């Protein structure tokens, strides 16, 4: 969910993404599995098997449909047509399954699991919490319902509210005093999509990536999302959003600040919908590096593309692009879009 609007078309991308904001001394790395919404593990969790098959027209139509809704582009206004999945004609609203890659995270004491969407285009990690407006479960076409866990501040013995005097409280001006609970509000690009509530601190249960037997629980700050609006009520990230941006409030930044990991993380998405996310991954010495174009007000994973390869033809083409795990496709503006589509049109597929 990036905070940018690109009016363009989409090119399907199989993405191997490694993000690092800065290198540090060797520390532990922590990781957990991530799953695309159409992957087999997600189908098992939801008890649904009639989702679009990978590579079919319906598969790409479904992903494009979610992008139109969630990114709120003008071209998508009023687009609410339902989709039918194969091999049967049973229909599931795509909104009910979201479109991001997901990870199952465990928070609190006793621990509760949440299927959160991973988003490099935003910063805050938030969970549905003592909510008045949120999604409590997903209804299936067969009448069954998958219930989601809802975080409860009083239900966790290790939880505590974050006060307005915290350095992570961005809305201090709205606080009547420094010893009151810090509110938060995040508005996303999609029209009318937001989350509001207050900040809390609790335990995020992690395990070392190099030795799966070592627990590494750490206290992190996240949003207690009391009111969700817009796409969040239509199924996009219905059980929480895990912001992976560059700000101090993101979990990778918190882990680095606490000295638990280096200030980096990596994600790998496979063609089968399975993937991995690791915090504190310093990469290998032979791995190539790409510098980020950092903006002071709102830094993002923005890079400069200098060349494109279509088929075996290499063309010089310079433009800026943002790595955003909150979209299913690559979106391009002109002249990059025109040059790439012309190159594709000139390919010999015979």
Matching residue, tokens 């609006």: 229
Going by their DSSP bridges, the two strands 112-119 and 183-187 should be labelled as: unpaired
Q: What is the pTM of this model?
A: 0.71
CA quadruple 60, 65, 71, 76: dihedral sign: positive
33 is catalytic: no
Which listed residue (119, 202, 209, 281) is catalytic? 119
CA distance linking residue 267 with residue 329, whole number of Å? 16
* Residue 31 contacts residue 60 (beta carbons within 8 Å): no
The pLDDT of residue 154 is 94
Domains, the chain, in order of start with CATH, read: 10-291 (2.40.70.10)
How high is the pLDDT of residue 107? Answer: 94
pLDDT for 140? 66
Active site residue 210: no
167, 172, 177, 179 alpha-carbon torsion, rounded to 10°:
-30
Give the per-residue pLDDT at 65. 56
| CA 243/CA 2 separation, integer angstroms | 11
pLDDT digit of tens for each residue in the chain (350 aa)? 544 323 232 332 323 333 333 333 345 555 555 555 556 655 555 555 555 666 565 665 565 555 554 444 333 333 322 221 122 222 222 334 556 778 888 999 999 988 888 889 899 999 999 998 998 987 766 777 788 999 999 999 999 999 999 988 989 889 999 899 999 999 987 778 899 999 999 999 887 766 555 677 889 999 999 999 988 888 788 899 999 999 888 998 998 888 888 888 887 777 666 777 888 876 666 777 788 888 777 788 999 999 988 888 888 989 999 888 877 678 888 989 999 899 888 888 76
Strands 112-119 vs 101-107: parallel, antiparallel or unpaired: antiparallel
Closest CA to 238 of 72, 60, 92, 99: 99
pLDDT value at residue 216: 74
DSSP character at residue 172: G
What is the rounded CA–CA span in Å between residue 38 and residue 40? 7
Active-site residue among 67, 123, 281, 324?
324
For residue 143, what is the DSSP state? Answer: S
């Amino acid at each position: 969910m990036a905070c940018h609007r690109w009016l363009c078309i989409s090119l399907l991308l199989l993405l191997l993404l490694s993000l690092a904001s800065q290198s540090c001394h060797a520390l532990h790395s922590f990781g957990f599995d991530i799953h695309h919404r159409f992957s087999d593990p997600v189908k098992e969790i939801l008890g649904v098997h009639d989702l679009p098959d990978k590579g079919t027209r319906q598969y790409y139509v479904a992903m494009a449909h979610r992008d139109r809704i969630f990114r709120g582009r003008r071209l998508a206004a009023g687009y609410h047509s339902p989709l039918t999945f194969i091999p049967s004609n049973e229909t599931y609203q795509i909104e009910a399954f979201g479109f991001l890659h997901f990870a199952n995270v465990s928070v609190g004491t006793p621990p509760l699991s949440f299927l959160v969407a991973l988003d490099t285009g935003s910063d805050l990690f938030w969970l549905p919490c003592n909510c008045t407006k949120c999604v409590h479960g997903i209804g299936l076409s067969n009448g069954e319902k998958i219930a989601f866990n809802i975080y409860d501040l009083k239900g966790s013995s290790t939880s505590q509210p974050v006060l307005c005097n915290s350095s992570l409280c961005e809305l201090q001006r709205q606080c009547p005093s420094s010893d009151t609970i810090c509110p938060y509000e995040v508005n996303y690009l999609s029209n009318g999509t937001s989350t509001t509530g207050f900040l809390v601190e609790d335990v995020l249960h992690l395990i070392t990536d190099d030795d799966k037997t070592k627990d590494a629980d750490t206290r992190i700050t996240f949003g207690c999302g009391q009111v969700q609006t817009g796409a969040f009520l239509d199924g996009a990230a219905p059980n929480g959003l895990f912001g992976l941006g560059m700000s101090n409030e993101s979990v990778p930044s918190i882990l680095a600040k606490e000295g638990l990991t280096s200030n980096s993380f990596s994600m790998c998405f496979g063609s089968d919908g399975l993937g991995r996310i690791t915090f504190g991954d310093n990469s290998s010495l032979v791995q190539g590096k790409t510098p980020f174009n950092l903006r002071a007000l709102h830094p993002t994973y923005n890079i400069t593309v200098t060349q494109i390869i279509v088929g075996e033809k290499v063309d010089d083409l310079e433009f800026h692009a943002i790595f955003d795990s909150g979209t299913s496709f690559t979106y391009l503006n002109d002249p990059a879009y025109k040059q790439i589509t012309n190159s594709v049109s000139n390919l010999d597929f015979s």
